[in-house]
Structure formats: structure tokens, C-alpha cells
Homo-oligomer: A and B are copies of this chain.
């Protein structure tokens, strides 16, 4: 036997970084849960993908449920903020911003297969777990409210018809979006979601004032 060097483990085994470990755990868990669902995802798969062991998981989280709660509160909340709330908050014209988001939504097979992570978790966990239900409800509410607020601001600025209810329109749009994503996942057909995007754009454009006639940017027909 050779005398093994003091650091026998893989070279420079990455200096301790608790917050990085915690983040890797959250990201890995979110990925697997997005693909297979919360209950069907076993901890070992998460640990393998995160590259840590069970000790690390139970050091950072009280259990599988707590990990799930953190995913809702942190990962999914961040995704929602980055994809929806921030672009809407920064845009002048909410309709234009929403259309851009819809058009940029992915249509690749993985996206079709996995659907919307928020909706997935909501459908699976809301009926059976009160803690999940509350957190998911908060998240969905923030999502809808963010759109509603943007529509209300846009209405004041003349980008949105004055007879649309921001709350109703925001809820309607989110329902339509989630519905198309769910349907495309159910029938496993990207074309359905592609046509759905076109329909969503049509709906959004129907919220515009009839004919502002020279409101600066000419609403040119998108190809």
C-alpha cells in the first residue's frame, strides 16, 4: 500500500459554501420535481443531482416537505418574478410586455412534457397539504396581482381599453395561459401550445383601445 497523500479526496473538493450547497439542493429538487412531481421524486435522486448527501439535506432542511416549501417560496417565486413581474413592472405598455413573454415561452419537447412548475405543484399538492396550499395560493395571487397592477397602470396611460377590469383580465389571461400549457402537456403536442400562443396574443391585443390612432409606436401587425 502506498501512503496516500493528505488530501486523498477529489482534488480541491470545493471549499465549504453552505449557501451554495443549499442552492444546489433547491435547484436540483426543483428540476426533478418539475419533471416527475413532488411525491414521486425521491430524495436520493435529488441528492445525486445536487452532488451532496443526505446529511447535507437534513442539515439545511427539516425534511422533504420543508424542501418543497422552500422551492415554492424561493425558486418558483424567483422564476415568477423574473419571467413575469419584473418585465411587467419595467414596461410602459403591459400588453406589449405580456405578448413578448408569451412569444418567448419555450416550445421544446421538455417544456411540453413538463408543463408549468407552479401549476404542477398546485395541482398535486394543494388538495392534500395545507402548508403547500397556502404558499402556492400566495404565489399565484402575486402573479395575477402583478399582471392586474400592470394592466391598471397601462390603462391609465392609454395602453389598455378603459372598459376592461384589470383583475378580471389578469385572471382570465393566467387561466388561459395555464390551460394551454396544461392541455399541451396532456396531449403532448407542441403545436397546440404554439397555436395557443397565437390565441393568447390575439386576446391580449383585444384589450387595446379601439384605435388610438398615432399613439407614438404604431401597432404594426406582427408577422
Contacts and interface: CB of A to CB of B under 8 A. Distances in A.
A174 B185 contact: no
A209 to B, nearest CB: 18
Q: Which 7 A-B pairs have the closest CB atoms?
A: A179-B179, A175-B179, A122-B186, A175-B180, A178-B179, A137-B187, A113-B127
Interface of A: 35-37, 39-40, 113-115, 118-120, 122-124, 126-128, 133, 136-137, 140-141, 168, 171-172, 174-180, 182-183, 185-189, 192, 195-196, 199
Contacts of A178: 178-179, 182-183
A123 B126 contact: no
A37 B36 CA distance: 13
User: How many copies altogether?
Assistant: 2
Contacts of A196: 171-172, 175
Contacts of A172: 176, 196, 199
